[in-house]
């Protein structure tokens, strides 16, 4: 399975090495590190990786989570805590069908002390929480081991790649576009925008749009921008509009010129 493990700002080299080992144990190989706070090739990391030293050396480093997720079609966040203002985390087993069905899923893990911040979790369509006793915070590498175990066990027995979903890059661009239009038409304001967009992200992420469908949706947004006179807007008949998904065109819209 083409599963990526993303570590956001890890601090301890030993944890990164142990996470690499856990990945190799479970059959994952794509390690991505966002804004590391340590030298992830420190001798301590290599020692903890043991036979996974090559996997560790092959890790790719990104400046932002958004870049690390750009080519993925599903991002699963992890959290030790339940956050009052975000959708409740799910049990890893509940998400297995979703992860198995994705072509390019990513699992996102947070920094040792704080975990993922809300703006990271907002970039994940779903969040998992490993059930624990009262002390909920697992060691980073142990969390990687358990979550990978849930998704990678018996991977050969179950068919995967059942659908072709838009990448996170396409969806983030769609959400940025949606935010612009919401402001343009006064649907939301600076104070409520974040909450409003979270609700729309949750709704639209559930749809698991294809690339063509995300272009279809953005075509509608562009038409709104054009209609209310936003400057510099290319009308819906623009070159990147999915021709296989032509919308019903308006009588006097720019698409008919």
Dmax (CA) for the chain in angstroms is 68
The CB-of-203 to ligand SAH minimum distance in angstroms stands at 25
Q: What residues numbered 32-71 form the site for ligand SAH, per CB under 6 A?
A: none
Please enumerate in sequence order all residues whose Cβ is within 8 A of that of 53, keeping only pairs 6 or more positions apart, or say none. 20, 46
Q: What residues numbered 76-105 form the site for ligand SAH, per CB under 6 A?
A: 78-81
The CB-of-110 to ligand SAH minimum distance in angstroms stands at 3
- Identify which of residues 66 and 227 has a Cβ nearer to ligand SAH in the complex: 66
- Identify which of residues 11 and 163 has a Cβ nearer to ligand SAH in the complex: 11
Q: Which residue has the tokens 């706070």?
A: 37
Q: What residues numbered 104-133 form the site for ligand SAH, per CB under 6 A?
A: 109-110, 112, 114-116, 128-130, 132
- Identify which of residues 65 and 182 has a Cβ nearer to ligand SAH in the complex: 65
User: What does the binding site for ligand SAH look like in residue numbers (CB under 6 A)?
Assistant: 78-81, 109-110, 112, 114-116, 128-130, 132, 136-138, 140, 143
């Amino acid at each position: 399975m083409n599963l990526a493990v993303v570590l956001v700002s890890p601090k301890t080299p030993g944890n990164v090495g142990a996470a690499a080992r856990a990945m190799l144990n479970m059959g994952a190989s794509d390690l991505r590190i966002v804004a590391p706070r340590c030298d992830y090739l420190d001798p301590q990391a290599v020692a903890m990786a043991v036979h996974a030293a090559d996997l560790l050396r092959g890790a790719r480093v990104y400046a932002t989570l958004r870049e690390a997720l750009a080519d993925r079609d599903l991002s699963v966040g992890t959290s030790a805590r339940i956050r009052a203002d975000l959708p409740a985390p799910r049990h890893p087993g509940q998400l297995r069908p979703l992860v198995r069905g994705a072509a390019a899923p990513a699992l996102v893990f947070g920094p040792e002390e704080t975990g993922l911040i809300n703006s990271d979790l907002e970039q994940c369509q779903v969040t998992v929480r490993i059930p624990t006793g009262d002390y909920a915070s697992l060691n980073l590498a142990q969390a990687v081991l358990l979550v990978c175990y849930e998704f990678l066990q018996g991977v050969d027995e179950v068919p995967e790649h059942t659908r072709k979903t838009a990448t996170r890059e396409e969806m983030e661009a769609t959400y940025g576009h949606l935010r612009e239009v919401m402001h343009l038409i006064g649907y939301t304001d600076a104070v409520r925008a974040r909450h409003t967009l979270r609700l729309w992200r949750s709704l639209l992420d559930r749809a698991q749009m294809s690339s063509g469908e995300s272009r279809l949706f953005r075509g509608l947004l562009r038409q709104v921008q054009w209609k209310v006179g936003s400057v510099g807007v290319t009308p819906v008949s623009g070159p990147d509009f999915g021709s296989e998904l032509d919308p019903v065109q308006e009588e006097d819209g720019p698409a008919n010129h």
